[in-house]
Chains A and B, each alone.
Chain A
Amino acid sequence: MKPDLAPRLHAENLAVRRGARTIVTDASLILNAGELTVLAGPNGAGKTTLARAMAGLIPSQGSVSLDGTTLTAMSARARARTLAYLPQGHEFHWPMSVEHIVALGREPHADPFSQVTSEDRAAILDAMDATSTDTLATRIVTTLSGGERARVALARALATQASVLIADEPIASLDERHQLIVMELLRDIAHRGAAVLAIIHDLTLAARFADRVVLMDEGRIIANDAPAAALTPERIAQVFKISVHRIESPDGPLLIPSRAL
């Protein structure tokens, strides 16, 4: 980790309720520039809800501030230029071409009547190149495979060139090669200065690529630390209710689930 970590997105004592149920309780989390933070936890831990609240998409108690300004006090477009959010599931409702989908990432930068600028074009090309979707540019998005769609969705989020990125399960439906490529990409984006939060289920990839790992369970943040300190077998047993084999490798520890506890 670098010494010049500047806090970008700061959630303090965040709580989210839906009806009588509390989904996130007292969550405080800082996303720093230059860091890839991985958020992990069992199903139903509240990861997506925390991510959506931090992206300003759902109301929450407590405060979320972006570069010191409360999110709710910012205009939606100003927020959208700085903070990009990739939802899980990758919805595409209309049979539009991949390049037009990726171009939607430029929406926060567009003024009402503007055409596509050269800056927009460069950002769209970069995003498609980085996610190896450039070869799909003219394909119709609804005809693509699940993994291809996931990469198009990521390209759309990257095309905004926001300096804060929140990605909910960006590698969930990818093959292993593309999982590695996308994790490397997210780490590169972070190390070039962005603050990145990614929800990831694969603990080995989290241990290997993350600068920081945040573990959630039952709506609470249980750990927020360097990967080696956060992902101990004891912690994993406590949070995920599984035992793991930890095998050291040249690329970092391999965390292989052995049995459910």
Chain B
Amino acid sequence: MALDRPGNLLTLLLAALVAVLFAASLMTGPAHFGAEIVAKALFSDQGVASIIVRDVRLPRTLLAVLIGATFGISGAALQGLLRNPLAEPSLFGAPQAAAATAAGLMAFGLVSPVSLAVPFGGIAGALISVGALVAIAGRRASLTMTLLAGLALASFAGAAIALVLNLAPNPYIALEIAFWLLGSLRDRSMIHVWIAAPFMIASWIVLAANARAFRALTLGEDAAASLGIHVGRVRIRVVIGVALGVGAAVSVAGAISFVGLIAPHLVRRFYGSDPARTLLPSALAGAALLLAADIIVRLVPGPLEIKIGVVTALIGVPFFLAMIFRERQVLEEAA
């Protein structure tokens, strides 16, 4: 008996990849700066170069890391709780619900876009969405119930967004919201980072605290409870953790989908499918994915930058279909 814990090398490689992509992101943009200039501009005052690197590129790079990691760990945690590789916050409309709430607050001029009320609004929206999903999916968390409840909630969030657009006081605000819903890291400042980062980091801590519970839950809720896990408390912590992270991420970057589906799926098999050990690598893979996507949108030539949420959705949907195809035997049994 080996009881190997494979994958530690991969975790280091993923961390190194995030570091490399972080540097590449600081070097990517219309102004061509080499590594040396970027390093100097970051750590000392180099005039225009410093303004570009510190005020333009650093915020979007930090947000890509924070948001990617948040979606990665949120997906892995929700999948651990619901014991279902297809569980992903955006499939259940959590980002849309967060967006609807945050957009509603902004559209009607209730709050300024850079106030703390926006992430709180987003978190409240995500809390309702994720809480309703976990409540409806119930103790047995059957695949069919989870997906159907998620479909209903996603549709409802879509309707809420439509309502906000419908009632928006003027067309410019509606257009602004529409663009924001596409998800973007462009033109974000360090203020956005400071607003969202505490909530996202809190969400990582809340979710990671359940790692061992996720592992025990592979045996089902009764067996996990018999092993001393408070399943009810775990459920509440996951709902709060996912809502904190997704709500805060959406309130500064708009709706970005599918990172929480793709990141855990890419790394899971290298960690023996252990849901406890998948959390950290999922966060790293999520950060790497979003950094890469944000570099790609800046490299694609054209008059308008493609929104990062569009890129993740374009990659994510075929990926999701491929996963359904791979899991079709399980899905057919569940139905």
Interface positions of A (Cβ within 8 A of B): 52, 55, 57, 75-81, 83-87, 89, 91-97, 99-101, 103-105, 107-108, 110, 116, 121, 124-125, 128, 134, 137-138, 153, 156, 160
Contact = CB atoms under 8 A, between A and B. Distances in A.
23 contacts: A52-B222, A76-B225, A76-B228, A76-B230, A77-B228, A79-B228, A80-B227, A80-B228, A83-B226, A85-B222, A87-B222, A91-B223, A93-B83, A93-B217, A94-B83, A96-B218, A96-B273, A107-B215, A107-B228, A116-B3, A137-B1, A137-B2, A160-B227
Interface string B69-99: 0000000000000011000000000000000
B272 interface: yes
B222 A76 contact: no
Interface in B254-289: 272-275
Contacts of A52: 222
Contact of B226 (A80, A99, A100, A103): A80
Contact of B3 (A80, A121, A134, A153): A121
B174 interface: no
A75 B218 CA distance: 22
Contact of A104 (B216, B230, B273): B216
A94 B275 contact: yes
B227 A91 contact: no
Closest 8 CB pairs of A and B: A80-B228, A91-B220, A85-B226, A93-B83, A77-B228, A87-B222, A76-B228, A94-B273
B188 interface: no
B218 A108 contact: no
A138 B2 contact: yes
B219 interface: yes
A107 B212 contact: yes
B274 A100 contact: yes
Q: Which of the listed residues B84, B215, B218, B230 has the most CB atoms from chain A within 10 Å of its own CB?
A: B218
Residue among B1, B3, B84, B226 with max Cβ neighbours from chain A (10 Å): B226
Nearest to B330: A142
Contact of A93 (B1, B220, B227, B229): B220
Given A84-B226, A107-B228, A128 B1 contact: yes
B272 A96 contact: yes
Nearest to B214: A94
Contacts of B225: 57, 76
Interface residue tally on B, bucketed by range = 20 to 34
A124 B216 CA distance: 16
A35 to B, nearest CB: 21
A151 B222 CA distance: 18
Contacts of A105: 227
Contacts of A57: 222, 225-226
Contacts of A99: 1-3
Interface string B221-255: 01101111110000000000000000000000000
Interface majority SS (helix, strand, loop, mixed), chain B? loop
A100 B3 contact: yes
Residue of A94, A101, A107, A110 with most partner-chain B CB within 10 A:
A94
B219 A76 contact: no
Contacts of A134: 1
A243 B226 CA distance: 37
Contacts of B212: 107, 110
A105 B217 CA distance: 12
Contacts of B223: 85-87, 91, 156
Contacts of B272: 96-97, 100
Nearest to B212: A107
Nearest to A137: B1
B273 A125 contact: no
Contact of B274 (A89, A96, A160): A96
Contacts of B1: 99, 121, 124-125, 128, 134, 137
Contacts of A156: 219, 223
Nearest to A160: B227
Nearest to B85: A94
A76 to B, nearest CB: 4
Given A84-B226, A85-B223, A101 B218 contact: yes
Nearest to B269: A95
A78 B226 CA distance: 11
B229 A76 contact: yes
A80 B222 CA distance: 12
A92 B219 contact: yes
Contacts of A121: 1, 3
Nearest to B226: A85
A91 B223 CA distance: 9
A106 to B, nearest CB: 9
A79 B216 CA distance: 16
Contacts of A80: 226-228
Contacts of B83: 93-94
